[in-house]
Every structure is written in C-alpha cells, then in structure tokens.
Amino acid sequence: MADADIKKGLAGVVVDTTAISKVNPETNSLLYRGYPVQELAATQPFEAVAFLLWSGELPDAAQLEAFQKSERALRPLDERTVALLDLIPLDAHPMDVVRTVVSQLGTFDETLNRPGGWTDPDLDLGRALYLFAQLPTIVAAVQRRRRGLEPIAPRDDLDYSANFLWMTFGELPSEAAIDVFRISMVLYAEHSFNASTFTARVIASTTSDLYSAVVGAIGALKGPLHGGANEAVMHIFDEIGSAENVVPWLDDALAKKKKIMGFGHRVYKNGDSRVPTMKAALDRLIAESGRTDLGELYDALEKEFVARKGIYPNLDYPSGPAYNILGFETEVFTPLFIAARVTGWTAHIMEQAASNALIRPLSAYNGVDERHVS
C-alpha cells in the first residue's frame, strides 16, 4: 500500500452517515438535527436539547415537562456510588473518578444481564437518560469532595443547569451565570464524529453495551488534544499570568514547538462555529464578575497567536475561563464537558446500533519482514 493511501488520523475520511448533527466548516455552521446551535443556545433549556438529539425533534411543552420529571427523578446518587467515591484517592483526576463511577453505574443495570439486553434500543434510551441525570450529581460531588465538602442532594424544583450549580456550590448564582452555564452545555452537547464520539461508536459497533461505550468515550475525551483542552487552557492562563506577559510567553512556547491549547481544530480551519456564542457568554460573566484581567489576557493571547499562526480558537478557549469565573476548579472543567457530551455520545451509540456495521479499519504493516524462531 502506498503511503499516500494511508489516511493517518482518518483525516478527511467519511466513515458513515449521521442524522444527528452537521458540521459545515465552509459556512462555519453547526446544526443539531437541522437546528443551528446558536438558535438552540439562545432559546432552549439543556433538557430540550437532549430530547432533540435523542428523538430528532424538539419537545412540546407537555413532552418537556414529562422529560424533566423523569430526569429529576433519576438525579440522586445511589449509596453504593457514595461509598465508591469514598474509596477513590482524593487527588485522583476528576476525569478518572467520573469514568470509574460511570462504569459502576453500568453494574447497577440488571437489564444488561437479560439475553439481548445489551443492545435493546428501548432500554438504551432509558440508560441515556439515567446517565444524563446522574452525571451532574456525580460531577458536583467530585468537585465538592476535592474541597473537603459533603455532597449536596439534588433539588427537584430546579432545572438541569440551576440544579447542577446548586449541587456544586450550595447556592444559586445569578440568572445570568446560570444562563452562561446552560449555553456552554448546549454548545458542548454534540459535534459529529469527533474522537470521543467515534470511540463510542467503535465500541457500540461491536454490539457492546451503552455504558461501556460511554466509559471509552470518557477516556478519549480526557486527552488535551480533545476535551482536556479546556483544562489545559486554564493552566496556560495561570502560567502566563497577565496580558503583558503574552508576547514573551508565546515566543518561548513557539520556540519550543509547543501546541497552544484551545486553538486549532481538525475540521474548522477558519474559526469554530461555537466560539462567538461562548465568547459572548464569557463576556457577560466577565462584566458581571469584574474579572477584566481574564478578559484582557484572553484577548491578548488570541490576537497574538492568530496574528502569528493564523490558527483560531476552538470552543475550549472561551469555556475554560467561563468555568473558572463560575467557580469550578480547573481539573473539573473536562468532566463538565462529559456531562454535556453524554447526550451526543448516547445519540450516536443508538444511531450506530440502529444501522450497525463493525468498525474495523485496515493497517499497513511496516515492521520487520517475516522471520522464524531459531
């Protein structure tokens, strides 16, 4: 096989069809089930976006109410999860903790043991809802535990976004802050065949179960070339310190051939369609909190890096500082991405199962020629 036939990183390869989302780098647009993500971010509760991704349509008022009721009933942590959290080292990375707990949730699901139960589409929708409802409670508990605090029980009088922040901080921030958080969840929910979603689809393609596919997806999301970049962006901001240090810091980083986290994208080469919406949301938080230092650093690094390399920010660049202002610890940023993206992952797992072909690419061998023992 000629080297030219090898599509390293599957760059440019179309692997399958999907009806869940459309990423169009030419028009810099992103559609979930046909709706522009900006319109959804401007108008929809996150629960409605999950419903849309799974069912193909936005819910009407009665459907949304019923969906929210089911979601709220599934929020509380099982006592075995509380016990598991106590066994995990306090300094374990939150991505590893959440991955472990999601794996445990799979062991609670007795329907997996039924013949054919692994891939029953009716059961998979319920499992997706269960993970969607549990993840905020898990992530909030992980954040509180890192601060030496007890978990806070979910409130069933609050919607997804307000309840998530309530369980994390024990108080409700301003309406504007809750709205920024909701927007970040909507923007993070789905993005076609990115690395973690593709991982989930590969696992689903073996007719493994939904929990296993989500656990694998979490592993893929952790890497800083993918979801881990929102954490890495904040480490960079901390390292640079303030806007006036941007130029010498960047001189040094580029001389060392470092990748600047939060910039660049495999599909978007002229800017990420989600960034303007998230940047506007971040600006609202900066105005409300008075954290103009962070805003100045953000602008200075973007201006300097784009001028030098012509590589634009991706969604992780504005979401990192937004989560910082909201009060999350840096290591908890990527688990927030899990809570959002579990909607897209599970939609893809169900789509893969509905029209499955085992995903099994080929490789070109470049090791030693055939040889024999002795």
Binding to ligand ACO, residues 213-242 (CB under 6 A): 224-227, 229
What DSSP string describes 77-134? Answer: PPHHHHHHHHHS-TTS-HHHHHHHHHHHHHHH-GGGGSTTGGG-HHHHHHHHHHHHHH
Tokens of 82: 């509380």
> Rounded to whole angstroms, how far apart are CA atoms 43 and 53?
16
Contacts of 50 (CB under 8 A, 6+ apart): 67, 132, 189, 343
Residue the block writes with tokens 């921030």: 173
CA distances from 233 to 118, 147, 227, 330, 334 (A): 38, 22, 11, 9, 11
- Residue 63 has which token pair? 């459907």
| β-pair partners for 373 | none
Query: Phi and psi dihedrals of 328, rounded to 5?
Result: -80, 150
* Site map 295..314 versus ligand ACO, x via CB under 6 A: --------------x-x--x
For residues 250 and 349, which CB has a smaller minimum distance to ligand ACO in the complex? 250
Closest approach of ligand ACO to the CB of residue 314, in Å: 4
User: In the complex, what is the shortest distance from the CB of residue 10 to ligand ACO, in angstroms, rounded to a whole number?
Assistant: 10
Least Å from the CB of residue 222 to ligand ACO? 11
Q: Which CB, 130 or 312, lies closer to ligand ACO?
A: 312
- Catalytic annotation, pick one of 120, 272, 316, 348: 316
Residue holding tokens 């993970």? 131
Size of the site for ligand ACO (CB under 6 A): 19
By CB under 6 A, the residues from 351 to 370 that bind ligand ACO are: none
Our finding on whether 45 is near ligand ACO (CB under 6 A) is no
Contact pick of 266, 284, 291, 306 for ligand ACO (by CB under 6 A): 266
Q: Pick from 146, 259, 284, 291: which binds ligand ACO (CB under 6 A)?
A: 259
- Given candidates 124, 209, 316, 351, which one binds ligand ACO under the rule CB under 6 A? 316
CA–CA distance, 145 with 128 (Å, rounded to integer): 25
Which of 265, 272, 299, 348 does the annotation list as catalytic? 265
| Catalytic status, residue 191 | no
Residues 265, 279, 341, 348: which binds ligand ACO (CB under 6 A)? 265
Pick from 261, 300, 349, 350: which binds ligand ACO (CB under 6 A)? 261
Handedness of CA 120, 351, 265, 189 (dihedral sign): negative
Interface positions, 192-211, toward ligand ACO (CB under 6 A) = none
Does the annotation count 235 as an active-site position? no
Report if residue 343 touches ligand ACO, rule: CB under 6 A: no
Instruction: Give the residue numbers annotated as catalytic, written as ranges.
Output: 265, 316
Binding site for ligand ACO (CB under 6 A): 9, 224-227, 229, 259-266, 309, 311, 314-316
